[in-house]
Amino acid sequence: MSFIRQVVKTSCRAVIPRRMFMTCGPSPGRLPGGRRGCHEVALTFDDGPDPDITPKLLDLLEKWQISATFFVIGEKVVRHRDIVHRIASAGHGLGNHSYTHSEPHKTSTRQFLDEVRKTRDLLEDIGNQPCKLVRPPKGKLTVGKQVGLWKQGMSIALWNIDPRDYQMQSQQQAVDWGASYHPRGGDIVLLHDNHPWAAHIVRVLANNNDQAGCARYVRLSEWVQR
Ligand SMILES: [Zn+2]
């Protein structure tokens, strides 16, 4: 990420409420109950649902009792409504990742906002509840798109931890990243369920947490109002 984008993200985080724009969650010091040494971390999965990978990932999350948030692409939702149903009924969060995942710089503000509205209608129909979380493709927004999303009442959710799983070439790379990652309270981890590596990362994080850690994996929606 460029220095300028980092500055913009940091500035937004400082002045805009989390329900409108979030790049991370509350820090441990602000967690209710003051649970010391215990961190709330949000795992997020973008670019699905995938008919092969997403169900296996859901099995894994269920086994370890981990909650997560899935930012799904509308045109894939149409093809795999059953998987989206399963995500929602398992208690995971659903977020909007546009309808076609079109290249941000080739997508007009009107087209982008139309895609978000169309995907939101789909998700609200399936989940039977409001779906206000949105993550723009590649995390890229213009001022016009950002304001347009707020006019739709959307909460923009980016991330602060990016293992770049979409660039990984082997299971070992995923395992190594998982072993080197030490969760901090409020981390939003960007993963992808259209690539196979996220599951290996989740397995390592869950194992580490089981043995020594104290991370509680939460849905992003839990942080929106805090
Ligand atoms: Zn994406």
| All residues with CB under 5 Å from ion ligand 1 | 46-47, 137
Is 125 among the residues known to form the active site?
A: no
Residue 33, in any domain of the structure: no
Q: How many Å lie between the centroid of ligand 1 and the Cα of residue 36? A: 34
CATH of the domain at 101: 3.20.20.370
Residue 139, in any domain of the structure: yes
* Residue ranges making up the domain that contains 16: 3-27+38-224
Q: How many Å lie between the centroid of ligand 1 and the Cα of residue 35? A: 33
Structure tokens at 204: 């390592």
Q: Does residue 153 come out as left (phi exceeding 0), alpha (psi in the -120 to 50 range) or beta?
A: left
Residue 127, in any domain of the structure: yes
Total domains in the fold of the chain: 1
In tens, the pLDDT along 86-132 reads 999 999 999 999 999 999 999 999 999 999 999 999 999 998 889 99
Q: How many Å lie between the centroid of ligand 1 and the Cα of residue 97? A: 7
What is the rounded distance in angstroms from the CA atom of residue 72 to the CA atom of residue 75? 9
In tens, the pLDDT along 34-81 reads 455 578 999 999 999 999 999 999 999 999 999 999 999 999 999 999
Residue 32, in any domain of the structure: no
Is 52 among the residues known to form the active site?
A: no
Residue 65, in any domain of the structure: yes
